[in-house]
């Protein structure tokens, strides 16, 4: 028996309506905000992610699916969406286009991680990227969009964590203070964090080990080291979010796992869905376009994990729209009737009616059981006398009410059923 690879998902018909509903909701809200969809390749040159996501991140160091292709080039299955969208912006000369450029995507991503509830090796993201605007009102708009999607899905018990991690002007001072602080605890830090002390001390704030977490709790705060520009940006963002009625809490140790963020970082965290509780992460990344070979172009965005959104929706008891059930099930008796049933079902479907008929050669009794199981609203039995007269009995399953109908013309019958 060949089985799916560990950490991948078969999304079965019972689960696809939740995915489809999230995608539909995301699309509708993006349209309202003037965001347009972008689709980029599933794999890219490895260098895009090592440069774009950052060499010192867990994603690049441990989590990427990287392999050589037949010509020996190093390729990587995308671990996230932003780097590819930025590459596409540069490659298609859109950085000099009409701004802001507002884009969204619905993608699968790949990360080699320990699979658990809310964490898989292939997973699905809804994300947005906004290019061209340095304004804190853009950050507020991006957060408002994410908030609207989460609320529209019926997710409750969710909080918005907000922080600013500064810019290239003020971050070196902060990094220095942080490195000084953590070097005092060098022997207590986990091995990975001891390495991070040299390469990127901010990553220690993101460490999941309890000991590092405890040490990090007393570490210097980014907010105490912001330059005037970053502080002003953060203040305006906070006021704007309050004006928009979006509650938030300042989380001074929120730094996010990817290297490209500047100024604003945020996460939506949902209670009660287990350890993987961050349903959405995002922020501003004013340096990324330049870092990937484009011009100076400010940008902000977020990504949501779709399976985590589903866990949060289930937790909140949110209703997930299900596919339409048949308006009519046609039960033929015998070969002649089966032929008529197929044609009639086809005609009803052409008229936009969800209709089914027997394809299993079942007895009448088991056909009725099946009709009940698939939730058919009505049934119509076709026997030899019905075939002769072109009239039959339409039975409403909910209460057994019966009425005679003419089924000789599918379009006319469709009107009766509407």
Instruction: Catalog residues that contact ligand ATP under the rule CB under 6 A.
Output: 80, 111, 113, 118-120, 123, 125, 257-258, 276, 278-281, 303-305, 307-308
Phi, psi of 58 (to 5 degrees): -60, -40
Residue with smaller CB distance to ligand ATP, 254 or 357: 254
Could you tell me the CA-to-CA distances from 245 to 240, 242, 248 in Å, in that order? 9, 5, 10
CA distance 324 to 354: 7
Cβ neighbour number for residue 412 with a 10 Å cutoff: 13
H or E element: which one contains 309?
A: helix 306-316
Positive/negative CA dihedral, 166, 171, 173, 177: positive
Residue with smaller CB distance to ligand ATP, 258 or 355: 258
CB 241 within 8 A of CB 140: yes
Residue with smaller CB distance to ligand ATP, 125 or 367: 125
Alpha-carbon Rg of the chain, whole angstroms? 28
CB 150 within 8 A of CB 169: no
Q: How far is the CB of 382 from ligand ATP (least distance, A)?
A: 49
Token pair belonging to 178 = 């942080």
Burial class (CB in 10 A: 0-12, 13-18, 19+), 96: exposed
Residue with smaller CB distance to ligand ATP, 117 or 244: 117
- Going by their DSSP bridges, the two strands 299-305 and 65-68 should be labelled as unpaired
Q: How far is the CB of 120 from ligand ATP (least distance, A)?
A: 5
Residue with smaller CB distance to ligand ATP, 162 or 303: 303
Strand partners, 380: 330, 394
Q: How far is the CB of 101 from ligand ATP (least distance, A)?
A: 21
> Which residues, other chains included, contact 159 with Cβ-Cβ below 8 Å and sequence gap of 6+?
247, 248, 249, 268, 269, 271
CA dihedral 202, 206, 212, 213 (to 10 degrees): 120
As a whole number of angstroms, the longest Cα–Cα distance in the chain is 94
Q: How far is the CB of 154 from ligand ATP (least distance, A)?
A: 17
Q: How far is the CB of 278 from ligand ATP (least distance, A)?
A: 4
Closest-by-Cβ residue to ligand ATP is 305
Residue with smaller CB distance to ligand ATP, 268 or 407: 268
Q: How far is the CB of 111 from ligand ATP (least distance, A)?
A: 5
Q: How far is the CB of 389 from ligand ATP (least distance, A)?
A: 59
Q: How far is the CB of 282 from ligand ATP (least distance, A)?
A: 7
Residue with smaller CB distance to ligand ATP, 115 or 195: 115
Phi, psi of 272 (to 5 degrees): 80, 10
Q: How far is the CB of 276 from ligand ATP (least distance, A)?
A: 5
Q: How far is the CB of 267 from ligand ATP (least distance, A)?
A: 7
CA distance 168 to 263: 10
The whole-angstrom distance between residue 195's C-alpha and the CA centroid of its chain comes to: 33
Residue with smaller CB distance to ligand ATP, 40 or 276: 276
Residue with smaller CB distance to ligand ATP, 260 or 329: 260
Look at the block and give the residue holding tokens 């009625």. Answer: 245
Residue with smaller CB distance to ligand ATP, 122 or 229: 122
């Amino acid at each position: 028996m060949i089985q799916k690879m560990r950490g991948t998902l078969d999304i079965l018909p019972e689960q696809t309506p939740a995915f489809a509903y999230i995608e539909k909701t995301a699309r509708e809200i993006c349209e309202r905000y003037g965001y347009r969809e972008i689709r980029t390749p599933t794999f890219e040159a490895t260098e895009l992610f090592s440069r774009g996501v950052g060499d010192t991140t867990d994603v690049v160091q441990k989590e990427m699916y990287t392999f050589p292709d037949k010509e020996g080039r190093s390729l990587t299955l995308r671990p996230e969406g932003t780097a590819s969208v930025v590459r596409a912006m540069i490659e298609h000369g859109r950085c000099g286009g009409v701004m802001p450029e507002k884009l969204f995507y619905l993608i699968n991503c790949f990360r080699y991680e320990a699979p658990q509830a809310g964490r898989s090796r292939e997973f699905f993201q809804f994300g947005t990227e906004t290019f061209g605007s340095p304004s804190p009102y853009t950050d507020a708009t991006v957060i408002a969009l994410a908030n609207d999607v989460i609320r529209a899905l019926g997710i409750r018990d969710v909080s918005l964590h907000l922080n600013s991690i500064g810019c290239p002007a003020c971050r070196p001072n902060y990094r220095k203070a942080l490195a000084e602080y953590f070097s005092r605890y060098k022997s207590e830090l986990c091995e990975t964090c001891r390495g991070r002390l040299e390469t990127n001390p901010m990553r220690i704030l993101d460490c999941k080990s309890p000991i590092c977490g405890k040490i990090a709790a007393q570490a210097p705060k980014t907010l105490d080291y912001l330059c005037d520009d970053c502080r002003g940006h953060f203040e305006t963002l906070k006021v704007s979010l309050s004006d928009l009625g979006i509650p938030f809490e300042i989380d001074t140790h929120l730094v996010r796992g990817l290297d490209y963020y500047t100024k604003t970082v945020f996460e939506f965290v949902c209670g009660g869905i287990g350890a993987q509780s961050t349903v959405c992460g995002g922020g501003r990344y004013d340096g990324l376009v330049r870092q990937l070979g484009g011009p100076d172009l400010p940008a902000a965005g977020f990504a949501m994990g779709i399976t985590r959104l589903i866990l949060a929706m289930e937790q909140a008891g949110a209703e997930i729209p299900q596919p339409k059930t048949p308006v009519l099930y046609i039960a033929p008796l015998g070969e002649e009737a089966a032929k008529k049933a197929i044609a009639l079902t086809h005609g009803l479907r052409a008229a936009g009616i969800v209709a089914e008929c027997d394809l299993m050669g079942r007895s009448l009794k088991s056909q009725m059981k099946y009709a009940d199981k698939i939730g058919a609203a009505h049934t119509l039995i076709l026997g030899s006398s019905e075939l002769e007269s072109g009239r039959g009995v339409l039975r409403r399953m909910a209460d057994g009410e019966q009425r005679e109908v003419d089924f000789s013309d599918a379009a006319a019958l469709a009107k009766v059923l509407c």
